[in-house]
Chain A
Amino acid sequence: MQGRLCRGHLPGLGVKINALPSRKATARLDLLRQELLAPILSIEGHAELLNEQLDDQDCLADLEKILTAVTLTRSLVDEMLDAETRQRDDAERDDQRSRYKHDLRNSVGAISGYTEIIMEELEDADGLSKDIQTYLNHQMDDSRKLLKMLDTLFRSEREFGEDSEAGLNVDISSVFESFARADQEKTRAISGRILVVDDNDSNRNLLAHQLHRQGHEISTAPSGRQALKMIRESRPDLILLDLFMPDMNGFDVLQEMHADEALRAVPVIIITGLNDKDAAVKCIEAGAFDLLIKPVNPSLLGARVIACLERKAWHDKEQAYQRQLEKSYTFIRKVFGRYLSDEVVKKILESDDGMQMGGGKQVVTIMMTDIRGFSMLSQELDPQDCVKILNNYFGIMTPLIQKYDGVIDEFLGDAILAIFGAPVVSTNHAEQAVACAIEMQKAMALVNRTSREWGLPSIEMGIALNTGEVVVGNIGSETRSKFGVVGHHVNLTARVESFTVGGQVMASEFTVNALGPEVTIAQSLEVEAKGIKERVTIHEITAIGAPYNLRLDEPEQILEPLRQELPLSFRRVTGKAIADESVDGFLTAANEGTAQLATLADLEVMTNLRMNIPGYPGAENDQIFSKVTASLGRQNGKNQYIIKLTSATLEARRYINSLMLQK
């Protein structure tokens, strides 16, 4: 009766033979088998657990009987379900079923019966531990479950496979509908380069042809060693590897691949006739992607191969992405590393919103520094010496700015433009900037010491600070851009800078208002900055409190009285314009670039003066500029002012110094 594919009536016999099961029916039977197997396996498992726990010889003997009954049950279920797939008529079916029903009820009855016996015996002997009780209860539950399933099954009037009511909790149809949908949607056609490794020619050729037909590019190797050579040379996308080969077996190949970093990522599917589950485990532990037992169904192989190739493709993509990410990081580090300390760069790379890169408005503190009179100095010094002084100066100032989380935006000749509070957003940029400025001023002593050692002149720096909203971003064009700031407050900072003299830290009211810590303000001025409507108050800061605790040492402001008063004349300078009116005055005392001026004229603090010193040995049109930094009031009928030389030739400085020295 087996295997004949005739349907409907068998000619001449007048008997209706039932059809072979459809695909769905076969699936249903498979699932039925699984369902029935579940409690059977559970009974088996618990019996094994009981075997470990029980001591009593009688109980162990009964347990053996249970195991025998389970084995019998299992083979009966298999046979019964197999019988369902065979062609038979209704009478035959009922007859067979009747037999199976009888035998199964007996065997399952034996399971529950002996379980009860064990329970009773242990109860009597007081040997019923909690675990044993649990296992025994499970046995009973499982056998009851099994019985119930079988009852439901045997009530069926039709073939089990055809009967959707026959004891299954699963909706078979929906799965098959999903399969059908997936078939319609199937678009992927992944192909790859596959290396087939098998010492047996027939096996190798068969696999090669099957896979080639499925669209892959195939290469073959008859031995493990050859395979490794080819893998190293051409790096295939996937290896199909036999286990048993003469010179180097598949497992060793696997291990060697896994040990080699370059080869580790190449997926390997082991195809072997060896049906040993420990071997399978070992191969997978050694790094095999999968293991298939010969003979391998070609469609199944094809599907596994595609799955494997897909996975590799994703792996490769991820690797490429990682490399890209590294590149970006390196780029960012390089670009910003010049402006930012490592810490800040790290912060930018790590944070999501700590960085405002593209054209945003932000409140920042802007620092502008300027070396007083450097332009004049640069004309008088050798270019090399000029650069020497500058680089030494920058070399000392740059780390200080970075220390306070500032970003150097630009070196403009001898000036530094630095930003605090961008691109890494921070709330304490104002105080960081102030503290930084004070430390920078203190560091000038170091700068000048080095200059003196080189036999080069000292320099003085003025620092201006301002706080406000600016536009922050990548400024420039595609081919050339930089991180920059634009805005009214940038200009204001420049204006504040114009009011500073060497050694000063001048901060706008906006910066001072934004401060947390206390600061010591030496003097404040209301100034009208060119191009800006309102008057702005600027403050000279000489110290900042906790947590920084920095103070500018007061420079020796003791002015040595000149042996002889030095008469001179001067003109007021406003912007670039020098006033026509020449005013007379006297220098009465001096010290290094600072002097006391006595004059009848009324001068405002911060006024720039162009000086004309008679007796000055230098050229006529040498420009000597100074700034009125303080008013001392009236003395001897004249107004007394402190002036600071802001721009003077070396000659002029030496001359004034020489006057001082003459005692």
Chain B
Amino acid sequence: MTKILIVEDNEMNRDMLSRRLKRKGYEVEVAIDGQQGVEIAGALMPDVVLMDMSLPVMDGWAATKTLRRNEKTAALKIIALTAHAMDGDRQKAMQAGCDDYDTKPIDLARLLGKIEALIQ
């Protein structure tokens, strides 16, 4: 089963996304801030990390960079989730090392497409 780590500080978003992904048959773990996200990613080694960009303690960009610097987690697939739909944000996410990016609110079908694309 595909393992997904959701790093999201907003409880509702976290709950929504994990439930919906679980129903679609994915194994889901969650982290509530950037720091925790890095730790759990290292331990779990998920197939895909869904990283919200605006996080407390350590934001999404910093967390991504940290994962990339670490040899173990450097190859993890990371999809940035952001509320900011502007081009600048997309670039910023890609520069930080994300493999793809999706905007909130989440269109499940669209996200699933991106997830599956990364897993292949």
A-side interface residues toward B, CB under 8 Å?
A: 65, 68-69, 98, 101-103, 105-110, 112-114, 116-117, 120, 143, 147, 151
Q: In the complex, are the beta carbons of A110 and B20 less than 8 A apart?
A: no
**B:42-97 near A, CB below 8 Å:** 54, 83-85
How long is the Cα–Cα vector from A110 to B20 in the complex, in angstroms?
Answer: 12
Tally of chain B residues near chain A (CB < 8 A): 18
**B:90-120 near A, CB below 8 Å:** 103-106, 108
6 contacts across the A-B interface (CB closer than 8 A): A106-B10, A106-B12, A107-B12, A110-B105, A116-B20, A147-B105
List chain B residues, Cβ under 8 A from A108. 105
Q: In the complex, are the beta carbons of B105 and A102 less than 8 A apart?
A: no
Given contacts A106-B13, A114-B16, contact A101 B84 (CB under 8 A): yes
How long is the Cα–Cα vector from A44 to B15 in the complex, in angstroms?
Answer: 21
Cβ-closest chain B residue relative to A151: B85
List chain B residues, Cβ under 8 A from A105. 83, 103-105
CB proximity of A655 to chain B, nearest CB, Å: 126
Q: In the complex, are the beta carbons of A101 and B19 less than 8 A apart?
A: no
CB proximity of B7 to chain A, nearest CB, Å: 14
How long is the Cα–Cα vector from A120 to B108 in the complex, in angstroms?
Answer: 12
Q: In the complex, are the beta carbons of B12 and A65 less than 8 A apart?
A: yes
Q: In the complex, are the beta carbons of B19 and A117 less than 8 A apart?
A: yes
Q: In the complex, are the beta carbons of B85 and A113 less than 8 A apart?
A: no
A110 contacts which of B16, B23, B85 (Cβ < 8 Å)?
B16
How long is the Cα–Cα vector from A105 to B104 in the complex, in angstroms?
Answer: 6
Q: In the complex, are the beta carbons of A117 and B83 less than 8 A apart?
A: no
For residue B40, CB closer than 8 A to chain A, the reply is no
Q: In the complex, are the beta carbons of B106 and A113 less than 8 A apart?
A: yes
Given contacts A117-B20, A151-B85, contact A65 B105 (CB under 8 A): no
How long is the Cα–Cα vector from A109 to B23 in the complex, in angstroms?
Answer: 19
Q: In the complex, are the beta carbons of A113 and B83 less than 8 A apart?
A: no
How long is the Cα–Cα vector from A108 to B83 in the complex, in angstroms?
Answer: 11
Closest 7 CB pairs of A and B: A109-B105, A105-B83, A113-B16, A102-B83, A110-B12, A109-B104, A105-B104
Cβ-closest chain B residue relative to A144: B105
List chain A residues, Cβ under 8 A from B17. 113
How long is the Cα–Cα vector from A113 to B108 in the complex, in angstroms?
Answer: 9
Where chain A touches its partner, the secondary structure class is helix
How long is the Cα–Cα vector from A105 to B82 in the complex, in angstroms?
Answer: 9
Given contacts A102-B83, A106-B12, A106-B13, contact A113 B105 (CB under 8 A): yes
**B:14-46 near A, CB below 8 Å:** 15-17, 19-20, 23
How long is the Cα–Cα vector from A68 to B10 in the complex, in angstroms?
Answer: 13
List chain A residues, Cβ under 8 A from B83. 101-103, 105-106, 109
How long is the Cα–Cα vector from A51 to B19 in the complex, in angstroms?
Answer: 21
Given contacts A98-B84, A101-B84, contact A117 B16 (CB under 8 A): yes
CB proximity of B112 to chain A, nearest CB, Å: 12
Q: In the complex, are the beta carbons of A102 and B84 less than 8 A apart?
A: yes
How long is the Cα–Cα vector from A103 to B83 in the complex, in angstroms?
Answer: 8
Cβ-closest chain B residue relative to A105: B83
CB proximity of B20 to chain A, nearest CB, Å: 6
Most buried by B among A110, A112, A143: A110
Q: In the complex, are the beta carbons of B12 and A120 less than 8 A apart?
A: no
How long is the Cα–Cα vector from A108 to B16 in the complex, in angstroms?
Answer: 12
How long is the Cα–Cα vector from A101 to B85 in the complex, in angstroms?
Answer: 10
List chain A residues, Cβ under 8 A from B19. 117
Given contacts A106-B12, A106-B83, A110-B12, contact A120 B20 (CB under 8 A): yes
Q: In the complex, are the beta carbons of A120 and B13 less than 8 A apart?
A: no
Instruction: List 17 additional A-B contacts (Cβ < 8 Å) besides A98-B84, A101-B84.
Output: A65-B15, A69-B12, A102-B54, A102-B83, A102-B84, A103-B83, A105-B104, A106-B12, A109-B83, A109-B104, A109-B106, A112-B105, A116-B20, A117-B16, A117-B19, A120-B23, A143-B105
CB proximity of A39 to chain B, nearest CB, Å: 14
List chain B residues, Cβ under 8 A from A117. 16, 19-20
CB proximity of B82 to chain A, nearest CB, Å: 8
CB proximity of A372 to chain B, nearest CB, Å: 109
CB proximity of A203 to chain B, nearest CB, Å: 48
List chain A residues, Cβ under 8 A from B104. 105-106, 109
List chain B residues, Cβ under 8 A from A112. 105
CB proximity of B108 to chain A, nearest CB, Å: 7
CB proximity of A424 to chain B, nearest CB, Å: 78
List chain A residues, Cβ under 8 A from B15. 65
Q: In the complex, are the beta carbons of A113 and B13 less than 8 A apart?
A: yes
How long is the Cα–Cα vector from A45 to B105 in the complex, in angstroms?
Answer: 22
CB proximity of B111 to chain A, nearest CB, Å: 11
List chain B residues, Cβ under 8 A from A65. 12, 15
Given contacts A101-B84, A102-B83, A116-B108, contact A109 B13 (CB under 8 A): yes
How long is the Cα–Cα vector from A112 to B85 in the complex, in angstroms?
Answer: 17
Cβ-closest chain A residue relative to B16: A113
List chain A residues, Cβ under 8 A from B54. 102
List chain A residues, Cβ under 8 A from B108. 116
CB proximity of A280 to chain B, nearest CB, Å: 37
How long is the Cα–Cα vector from A143 to B104 in the complex, in angstroms?
Answer: 12
List chain A residues, Cβ under 8 A from B23. 120
How long is the Cα–Cα vector from A68 to B54 in the complex, in angstroms?
Answer: 21
CB proximity of A339 to chain B, nearest CB, Å: 86
